[in-house]
Amino acid sequence: MDVLQAIFTRRSIRKFTGEPISNENMETLLRAGFSAPSAHNMQPWHFVVLKNPATLEYIAEAHPYAKMLPQAGCCIIVCGDEEVQKTKGLMVQDCSAAIQNILLAAHGIGLGAVWCGLYPAPELTKLLSVTIKLPEKIEPIGMIVVGHKTEDRATAERYDSGKIHYDQW
Ligand SMILES: Cc1cc2nc3c(=O)[nH]c(=O)nc-3n(C[C@H](O)[C@H](O)[C@H](O)COP(=O)(O)O)c2cc1C
């Protein structure tokens, strides 16, 4: 898929078949994450792929907006290393860029995906840190629920000339 087509047609997908993602597709998604820009090129990210059904059920029960997780059968937790990117705001932006890359890659190869928030909700970052045994210096930033989709969503037109400012506000 052409990059602009992917950007313009990507939507959050929350309905899945449950069919597992191939290893080849997962590698493509992870490669997309690793290809993101990062401040000073520090690449502070780590990616934790979760497929264990009991773990997915446990997270979905605790997370108020991730009930689709067990049905998808897979998620990628994008985490940041606070010792690698020491300015928190930069680390969060770096990881967010990786998340968006993965969302676009998933769409580009015909999978469905949705970004489920973790950071900065302390109850959710704590839940993930404990559940997936993250080291102290590693913070979970976002969760990408990804799988084979059963829905296609219409393109959203959000262009708003009223929010564009030239030379000054
Ligand atoms: C930081 C962030 C956190 C989000 N958290 C959730 C979430 O927990 N659950 C969910 O279903 N969608 C979540 N979303 C997806 C948004 O609801 C979605 O992107 C928005 O409604 C626009 O729809 P679209 O992605 O289809 O364009 C999140 C998106 C972002 C950027």
Read off the pLDDT of residues 50-104 as tens digits, 9 standing for 90 and up. Answer: 999 999 999 999 999 999 999 999 999 999 999 999 999 999 999 999 999 999 9
Q: Is the pLDDT of residue 140 over 90?
A: yes
72 lines ligand 1 (CB under 6 A): no
pTM: 0.98
Q: Is 92 in the pocket of ligand 1 (CB under 6 A)?
A: no
| Distance (Å, whole) CA 24 – CA 47 | 16
* Mean pLDDT score, 22-49: 98
Bridge partners, residue 120, by sequence? 118
Confidence of residue 134 (pLDDT cuts 50, 70, 90): very high
* Beta-carbon contacts of residue 34 (< 8 Å; ≥ 6 apart): 43, 45, 98
Rg (the chain; Cα; Å):
16
Split at pLDDT 50, 70, 90, the class of 167 is very high
Looking at residue 1, its pLDDT comes to 87
Q: Determine if ligand 1 sits within 6 Å of the CB of residue 103.
A: no
Q: How far is the CA of 29 from the centre of ligand 1 (A)?
A: 18
Amino acid making up residue 4: L
Ligand 1 pocket test target in 7, 15, 92, 116 with most atoms within 8 Å of CB: 116
Domain 13-152 indexed as CATH 3.40.109.10: yes
Give 156's pLDDT tier (boundaries 50, 70, 90). Answer: confident
Which residue puts its alpha carbon closest to atom 31 of ligand 1?
115
Name residue, tokens 């969302």: 103
